[in-house]
Amino acid sequence: MIQKKKKSTFFNLAVAIVLLLVFLMLSFSNQKVKNLFFSLTEAPKSAILNVGDFFSSGFKIVFSLKDIIKENSELKEKNRDLIQKTIKLEDIKKENDLLRSQLSLKDRSEFNLLETKIISFDPNNLSDFVTINRGEADGVRKDMPVILPGNILLGKVFDVYPNYAKVMLITDNNNKVNVKSFFQKEEDRKNYSGVLNGYFGKSLFMDFIEKRTLVFQGDMIVTSGLDGTYPANLIVGYVDIIEDKDDAVFKQAYLTPSFLPISSNLAFVILDY
């Protein structure tokens, strides 16, 4: 019995020592080890993600058929509005191009984008990260903004490995973004701005909204570009719940992020803007 106990203590001690040594070793080559494991597991993860997407999209279609019909008619209406707007904007663009050429200003067009794929998600609920299959070798650097197709803000690069990078999503509590409202139709009310960060359950919390401004449910929120990390006018989300307490200095709002649900694994790193 005593011998058995001694054996068990010895085993525990051996495990602890091995663990300590492994940690010490890994802390020196953390980046390389992680990069190696990401490359080893990229194929099975991509396969699982693709199979999962296939099934989930199938289920979604069956269960949301009623919503799809409703959404379709709403989109048709929106499309009509957008066609009108496009015609107007086309004229403004022509005028703007002409003025820019007269003033010899540089073209302020699109961003310099790097196409990438989301290969995995952070395996815990307390932090919101995704891994992308582009890294230092592709020119990805820390704090570079990452977007989804349609200029939808996903987050910023948090950690860079030789061939992979970790992206901190905007729904993470540690990610702060300077934002402003964007009215899709011409409105009498004043634009408002604020600072947002991630909130419980994959939503967003917007703070420091000027008290006298009018905030409505469904308002589109975009980046303001003031923080220096994200370029202006990237779509962030839509106002869901508004909080206007009498004793508070600012208004607050809870937002539904636009990037959710992540249906495609395609993303872009903004290398330059």
Partner 1 sequence: MFNFLFYIILFFVVVLQSSILPKIELFGVFLNLSLLSLVFLSFYLKDRKRVILSALFLGALLDIFSSMPFGIFTFIFLIISSLITFLLNSFMPRDNLFILISLLFFATILYYVLFFVFVNLLSIFDATNYKISFNINTLKLAFFEYLYELLFLFLLLPLRRFL
Binding part of the chain for partner 1, among 100-108, 182-190, 200-208, 239-247 by CB under 8 A, reads 200-208
Radius of gyration of the chain measured on its C-alpha atoms:
24
- CA–CA distance from 132 to each of 32, 39, 40, 59, 257 (Å)? 16, 11, 14, 26, 20
Binding part of the chain for partner 1, among 31-39, 144-152, 207-215, 242-250 by CB under 8 A, reads 31-39
Detail the DSSP E strand segments found in 102-234: 112-121, 129-132, 145-148, 152-160, 165-169, 177-182, 193-199, 203-209, 220-223
DSSP state of 225: S
Site mask, partner 1, residues 45-74, x = CB under 8 A? x--xx-xxx--x------------------
Residue number with CB closer to partner 1 (213 or 256)? 256
> Which residues 6+ apart lie within 8 Å of 88 measured at CB?
none
Q: Is 228 in the site for partner 1 (CB under 8 A)?
A: no
Binding part of the chain for partner 1, among 178-186, 195-203, 219-227, 241-249 by CB under 8 A, reads 195-203
SS3 178: strand
What residues between 125 and 144 interact with partner 1 by CB under 8 A? Answer: 125-127, 129, 131
Q: How far is the CB of 127 from partner 1 (least distance, A)?
A: 6
Q: How far is the CB of 95 from partner 1 (least distance, A)?
A: 45
Q: Is 251 in the site for partner 1 (CB under 8 A)?
A: no
